Structure 1
Amino acid sequence: MSRAARGSCHMDTARTDTFAGALRAAIAERGLGLERIREHLAQQGVKVSLATLSYWQSGRSRPERRSSLAAIGHLEEILALPTGYLVGLLGPPRPRGRWLKRAPDRTVPISALWSDPDQVEWAFRQVDTSSDERLTRLSQHDFVTVGPERGERSIRSRHVLRADADGADRWVVLAHVDEPARHLPVLAPLRHCSLGRLVTHPAAGLVVAELLFDRALRQGDSIVIEHELVSRPPYPPALACGRKFRLPVREYVLEIAFDPLARPVDCVQYRQVGGTEVAHPVEVDAGGSLLGVALDFGPGSYGFRWNWPNPR
């Protein structure tokens, strides 16, 4: 793409007063996915991970290292932006080391951990997320069942939460189906909560819902809530299962129970933090389950992946 083609991008100025907003708007205008942008950069000899690109456009992080700043000029060319446009929105480097007096922020934008943050951001804008950062995640437990046809049948979740400020009154659930052509799961509140606003985006395979607490919490109050996501046939094929955390959790437990007729092979437990993944092989236990426990984890992603022995 020639630099003469730059400047043809028309963007909403309300979204382009920051580097992240400008990058998101330009990507949307060009209609390019992050994977495609990564490939374009790689062709120019610039290596940037998908997670890094996602963090940049969501505002979780910004390019500051010399190698990252060198990639911005190529991004401007790929996105048909004027030379220096994105660089000019970065401003001065953020303070580091002993000059950074406050504790590091351990949060990320809600959409930062997803491959398509724009769709996730749209979905979350339809619900009330104001309680999210008022709640400490003391414990979260997901119990997943996989049926004999190797499909994901259900996910039952239990959350132990503590309010860090008055007024927290809901928990927001997001579920994603990898194959949007499949039916979206049905959400069922089970304990100490009821269904509030429910938003579905079948084309993106997304379900977002508010689980309203029995009462608004005061600072220091704790609550246990449970809900279940039930899949509908034809069940989505199960090849992986995990959870994304934008805020830290004290304890996360993930159990996956496989039907005796559907025993996976080549199982891997993974954890991804800051765009770096660490994975190691694990085995299904004698009862046909995988069990993972993460302590003081997040932000990041945690879960299992596996294969099936023979195609059906």
Structure 2
Amino acid sequence: MNAAGGSRRSPADALASTLRDGINARGVTLAWLHDQLRLRGNAVSMATLSYWRSGTRRPEGAQSIAALSDIEELLELAAGALTGSLGDTKRTGPVGRSRFPIDERDLEQMVKDAFAALGTPYPDSTREVTTHSVTDVNAQGNVSYCLTRSIVQSTTGTVAAIPFLELSPGVRTPAPVLSAVSGGRISARYSHPSGEVHGALFELESPLTAPETAVIEWSIGFPAGYPPTQETGHAVARQCRELMVWTRFHPDALPDWIEEKIETPTGIRLAPLSLAGRTSIHQVRRAFGPGAIELLWGFGDREDQPG
């Protein structure tokens, strides 16, 4: 409650004050902050940082929000010290154009067929603002269950349902069991004749009008007869503020080798990873997409494995 004669600071003023105090307390400069953000992949200009510090402008859009989270860490501020002062915004922010996450034209056509069969336009007009995907691996070393929670946003118009697909490029599989856990229900299902694309239409509890968001959760189970799978991941067609893929291995089936695969429409990057005494690995990317974060693993020598 405001006292008589008092005033409430705008979100931009509140953020500016916290940012200035954090910079002063840390004893750093805007130039240092700019360089550290650039090293983290957040190319925020010096001018933009200056605007935020003065309160002339407030951050908008996924990349700016991701930068604020990095600034909180760099200035050793509490999580949410900056992002929590923003308040509500009616802007969607820059979302970029939708692109098929990987360079597979035949697979993209199958996805278009799936969208058409599910009665939704291609590309989808929503984006995943934040997504956490958790996969469990069984005692045989194969994927057994995946649970995904997302904050989804309508980027234009009103959206009542969102298609979700499971892809297995080059491998024919039976339909996995896609289930709605929270935030809506499955209203339609589809399997492509190739067996490489399976999907379901997730009908939201209530329609989203841009730039509204909703939190949804869905799971994927794998029936008997599904090929043993030693890879997992998540793909986004638009930039995602934060994408996390967490893979949890059974303690009796820890792999001998693990490899990260980052795939975008422009190429593939591979890198070895290690459990380092743990039983799980989490991969996190901010301001990521379009693209896919994947994890591959196996037993025996990596050189003996296909691909």
Aligned residues: 209
For residues 173 and 208 of structure 2, the distance between their equivalents in structure 1, rounded to whole angstroms, comes to 37
1:260 and 2:246 aligned = no
Name the CA shift for 1:251/1:197 in 2 (closer, same or farther; >3 Å): same
Is 2:102–2:291's contact at 8 Å kept on the other side of the alignment? no
Quick one: structure 1 residues 106 and 221, their matched pair in 2 at CA, closer, same or farther if it must change by over 3 Å? Answer: closer
- Partner residue in 2 for 1:190: 181
- Distance of aligned partners of 1:178 and 1:110 in 2 relative to their CA distance in 1, 3 Å threshold: closer
- The runs of 5 or more residues in structure 2 that have no matched partner are 1-93
What does residue 199 of structure 1 align with? 190
Distance in 2 separating the partners of 1:227 and 1:147: 20
Residue matched to 1:124: 115
- Name 1:284's counterpart in structure 2: 275
Q: Which residue of 1 aligns with 2:223?
A: 232
**1:56 corresponds to:** none
Q: CA deviation at 1:105?
A: 5.2
1:285 and 1:236 mapped to 2: Cα distance?
28
Q: Deviations over 1:132-155 (max 9, x none)?
A: 643232101111111112221111
Alignment partners' CA distance in 2, 1:285 and 1:188:
33
SS of residue in 2 equivalent to 1:121: helix
User: Does the aligned pair in 1 maintain the 2:101–2:289 contact within 8 Å?
Assistant: no
Q: State how far apart, in whole Å, the 1-side matches of 2:192 and 2:165 are.
A: 11
Maintained 8 Å contact 1:177/1:236 = no
Q: Name the counterpart of 2:135.
A: 144
Alpha-carbon distance between aligned partners in 2 of 1:240 and 1:136, rounded to the nearest angstrom: 24
The 3 A distance-change label for structure 1 pair 241 and 118 is: same
Change (3 A) 1:239 1:227: same
TM-aligned CA deviation for residue 249 of structure 1:
0.7
TM superposition shift of 1:278: 2.0
Partner residue in 2 for 1:220: 211
Residue identity matched to 2:209? R
TM-score of the superposed pair, with normalisation by structure 2: 0.61
Distance in structure 2 (CA, Å) of the matches to 1:151 and 1:178: 17
The letter for the 2-side match of 1:186 is V
Is 1:153 paired with 2:144?
A: yes
Whole-Å separation in 2 of the counterparts to 1:249 and 1:182: 28
CA–CA separation in structure 2 for the residues paired with 1:224 and 1:291? 21
> CA offsets per residue over residues 278-301 of structure 1, 9 Å max, x none?
222111253411110011111122
**How many Å separate the matches in 2 of 1:242 and 1:143?**
9
Q: Quick check: 1:146–1:238 contact (8 Å CA) kept in 2?
A: no
Cα distance, 1:116–1:266 mapped onto 2, change above 3 Å: same
Report the AA paired with residue 257 of structure 2: D
Instruction: Write the distance in 2 (CA, Å) between the matches of 1:123 and 1:151.
Output: 26
Whole-angstrom CA distance in 2 between matches of 1:276 and 1:131: 23
Counterpart residue identity of residue 208, structure 2: L
Q: Return closer, same or farther for 1:285/1:236 CA change in 2, 3 Å cut-off.
A: farther
Question: Once the two structures are aligned, what percentage of the paired residues are identical?
Answer: 18
How far apart, in 1, do the equivalents of 2:251 and 2:132 lie? 23
Higher relative contact order (CA 8 A, sep 6+): 2
CA RMSD of aligned residues (A): 2.7
User: What is the rounded CA distance, in whole Å, between the counterparts of 2:232 and 2:188 in structure 1?
Assistant: 25
Shift of 1:181: 5.3
1:210 corresponds, among 167, 186, 201, to 201
CA distance in 2, matches of 1:152, 1:235: 10
Residue 299 of structure 1 corresponds to: 290
Per the normalisation by structure 1, the TM-score is 0.60
Structure 1 residue 186 displacement after superposition? 0.7
Q: Distance in 2 between matches of 1:169 and 1:132?
A: 15
Pair 239,115 (structure 1): closer, same or farther in 2 beyond 3 Å: farther
> Aligned with 2:295: secondary structure?
strand
1:247/1:299 contact within 8 Å kept:
yes
Judging changes above 3 Å, is the alpha-carbon distance between structure 1 residues 302 and 111 closer, same or farther for their aligned structure 2 residues?
A: closer
Give the match's secondary structure for 2:158.
coil
| Native 8 Å contact 1:106 1:247 kept in 2 | yes
Asked if structure 2 preserves the Cα contact closer than 8 Å seen for 1:119 and 1:204, the reply is no
Structure 1: 5+ residue runs without aligned partners? 1-102
